[in-house]
Amino acid sequence: MDCNQVFVLKVKKVIFVFTLLIAFLSIRNDTFAQVESAVSPDSVVAESAHAVSGEHGATEHGEEKFEPTKVIMEHIADSHVWHLWGHTSIPLPVILYTSGGLEVFSSANFHHGEHDYQGKYNKYRLVTGLKQSMTKDMFNKNIKVVGADGQIDEAASDTVIDFSITKNVAAMFIAIALIVIVFSAVAAGYKKRVGKAPKGLQSFFEPVIIFVRDDIAKPNIGHTYAKFMPYLLTIFFFILFNNLLGLVPIFPGSANVTGNIALTFVMATATMLVVNLNGNKYYWKHILTPDVPWWLYPIMIPVELIGIISKPFALMVRLFANITAGHIIVLSLISLIFIFKTLAIAPVSVAFVLFMDVLELLVAFLQAFIFTLLSALFIGMAVEEHH
């Protein structure tokens, strides 16, 4: 397969670039020591910390120590504001389902977590980033109920369910809007030029659609593939668009949508439902009465039943881990500049980030492809006729 060739090439390039980096780092101490001493260290720190706060929406001041883990985790995790640059950010609506009823207000009321907000039913506080992950909270709540004593009331917080339009939700909506616009335009092209050769956007997406049909759906599902085409195409383009938008570092992108376990959980659940709701008698017979001696049933049936869950579970983790890892690597490379506290490392970081972005571009397509391919494969196993 040509994919292997690509990977071999990539690995060779990675080795080459890493060699360059090591060489660069070894000479760095000697060459750039003078540069560092020439520039006041404090100003560099302040500058870099400010830049970080500008890039990642941390509200700490320039003098604060740079914590790459915090910055990266803040990006990877969801957020109630969409940070653009500097101190500019888009406040997103907060929707809380409390025991009293729905609470809807703007996240601007929190002033980046500096203020508490008195809602209709409770007083709320925005708990950000790392601080939050320290608490062993099951539902990943960033918004906490503040008790009368000014402390977080964990018991009350547990009753509040957060349905906010967070950064990931907003980014997902943008991606969906984009998908709908793009494919309406493509469909319009087909209506306008009936039976003619495709043109423009239409000719860009037609090979991809045909690829999904001829190389994913047909070989894996068989003659009933047409029924599953809308689902496969939708997951393919939904994942692809979200992956690609996640690579864009400025506003419409930058969210880690497909690298969020909630989204991959929903996608995997959807595949699981499609597979099991379409499973025919052969599929269920294979699970419930496997072709083994009867005394193996106590082992085999649980294994098969676990298989129902484990297949989509693998889908969920694969997509989540791949995309999150890509984002973490890119951010780590950028963080190098601030860890070394020098601009001299910037070209190396940028070169690496460029390389990683190109790799991520491949991964974006690859993961969309793999998710769709495996979904088609599982569907194919469930609807297979002959046994």
Partner 1 sequence: MELVTPSIGLVFWTALAFICLLVLLRKLAWKPILGAIHDREQSIDEALNKAELAKQEMTRLTAQNQDLMQQARAERDEILKEAKTLKDSILNEAKKQAQIEGAKLIEKAKIEIENQKKVALAEVKGQVSTLSLEIAERILRNQLDDKAKQEALVANLLKDVELN
C-alpha span between 281 and 72 (Å, rounded): 48
Examine residue 64 and tell whether it contacts partner 1 (CB under 8 A).
Answer: no
Task: Single out the residue of 52, 127, 169, 333 in contact with partner 1 (rule: CB under 8 A).
Answer: 169
**How far is CA 244 from each of CA 95, 137, 171, 259, rounded to the nearest angstrom?**
28, 31, 12, 12
The H-or-E segment that residue 14 falls in is: helix 2-38
330-349 positions binding partner 1, by CB under 8 A: none
Extract the tokens encoding 286: 């294979």
Residue 348 Cβ, how far from partner 1 at the closest point, in Å? 28
In sequence order, what are the beta bridge partners of 19?
A: none
Task: Single out the residue of 137, 158, 357, 384 in contact with partner 1 (rule: CB under 8 A).
Answer: 137
Q: Between 59 and 234, name the residue whose CB sits nearer to partner 1.
A: 234
Examine residue 7 and tell whether it contacts partner 1 (CB under 8 A).
Answer: no
C-alpha span between 112 and 110 (Å, rounded): 5
Task: Single out the residue of 31, 88, 106, 140 in contact with partner 1 (rule: CB under 8 A).
Answer: 140
Extract the tokens encoding 201: 């956007």
Task: Single out the residue of 243, 260, 332, 349 in contact with partner 1 (rule: CB under 8 A).
Answer: 260
Residues 6+ apart with CB under 8 A from 275: 311, 312, 375, 378, 379, 381, 382
Q: Between 83 and 141, name the residue whose CB sits nearer to partner 1.
A: 141
Residue 73 Cβ, how far from partner 1 at the closest point, in Å? 8
Examine residue 195 and tell whether it contacts partner 1 (CB under 8 A).
Answer: yes
Burial class (CB in 10 A: 0-12, 13-18, 19+), 375: buried
Examine residue 95 and tell whether it contacts partner 1 (CB under 8 A).
Answer: yes
Task: Tell whether the torsion through CA atoms of 132, 135, 141 and 143 is positive or negative.
Answer: negative
Examine residue 172 and tell whether it contacts partner 1 (CB under 8 A).
Answer: yes
Kindly write out the interface string for residues 199-218 of this chain, putting x where it contacts partner 1 by CB under 8 A and - elsewhere: -------x--xx--x-----
Burial 249-287 (b: 16+ CB within 10 A, else e): eeeebbbbbbbbeebbbebbebbbebbeebbeeebeebb
Task: Single out the residue of 82, 124, 320, 352 in contact with partner 1 (rule: CB under 8 A).
Answer: 320
Task: Single out the residue of 6, 15, 176, 248 in contact with partner 1 (rule: CB under 8 A).
Answer: 176
Q: Between 99 and 140, name the residue whose CB sits nearer to partner 1.
A: 140
C-alpha span between 251 and 94 (Å, rounded): 20
Task: Considering only the stretches 113-121, 133-141, 290-298, 334-342, report the one whose residues sit in contact with partner 1 under the rule CB under 8 A.
Answer: 133-141
Residues making contact with partner 1 (CB under 8 A): 73, 76-78, 95, 132-133, 137-141, 161-166, 168-169, 172-173, 176, 179-180, 183-184, 186-187, 190-191, 194-195, 206, 209-210, 213, 226, 229-231, 233-234, 237-238, 260-263, 265-267, 269-270, 320, 324
